[in-house]
């Protein structure tokens, strides 16, 4: 086998081990420290699969949302920040009604992918939730610059300018 095939085979083996570790953690419900350690081991074995989102869903369903956040922070700290995981962490922060933490997480993701319109959109939503309308407008302007056909971003900009009684801007983005 070539080096590429060996590497791919190794990644598949790691992925299967990660899923196995996650399955062991599921068997240990209710979720305790040993189960959490198994989830951490699963993620360390299989960082690029669905193990982390699966673990998040499990933790939320068992009422351990704060552990899900710790898991994202641990993962990002262990492997360095990964935009995909930062987005998931920011989404969870937003779900848990912590928009300021979501803003920080999305900003970190933007450092890695400054032209990612999805991150700008989510950042704008978090700014709106934290009552920072000016910053939300700036994020949405980035979205329309990057994706001129994004009608949802135009609509949200129209709403924000309406809230500020800036009728000309509002009309421009609503049309």
**Which pair of tokens denotes residue 91?**
């989404």
pLDDT tens by residue, 25-74: 555 555 566 666 666 666 665 554 566 777 777 777 777 788 778 877 87
Residue with tokens 């700036």: 138
DSSP state of 64: -
Token pair belonging to 106: 């999305």
Predicted local distance difference test score (pLDDT) of residue 160: 95
Tabulate helix, strand, coil % of the chain (nearest 5).
80, 0, 20
Place of tokens 């922060």: 93
pLDDT at 153 over 90: yes
pTM score above 0.75? no
């Amino acid at each position: 086998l070539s080096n590429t095939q060996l590497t791919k085979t190794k990644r598949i083996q790691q992925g299967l081990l990660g899923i196995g570790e996650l399955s062991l953690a599921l068997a240990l419900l209710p979720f305790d420290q040993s189960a959490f350690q198994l989830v951490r081991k699963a993620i360390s074995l299989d960082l690029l699969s669905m193990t982390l989102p699966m673990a998040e869903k499990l933790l939320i369903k068992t009422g351990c949302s704060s552990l899900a956040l710790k898991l994202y922070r641990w993962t990002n700290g262990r492997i360095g920040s990964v935009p995909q995981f930062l987005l998931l962490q920011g989404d969870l922060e937003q779900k848990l009604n912590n928009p300021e933490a979501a803003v920080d997480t999305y900003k970190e993701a933007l450092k890695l992918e400054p032209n990612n319109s999805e991150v700008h959109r989510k950042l704008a939503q978090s700014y709106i939730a934290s009552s920072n309308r000016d910053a939300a407008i700036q994020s949405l302007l980035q979205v329309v610059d990057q994706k001129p056909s994004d009608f949802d971003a135009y609509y949200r900009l129209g709403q924000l300018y309406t809230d500020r009684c800036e009728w000309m801007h509002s009309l421009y983005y609503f049309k």
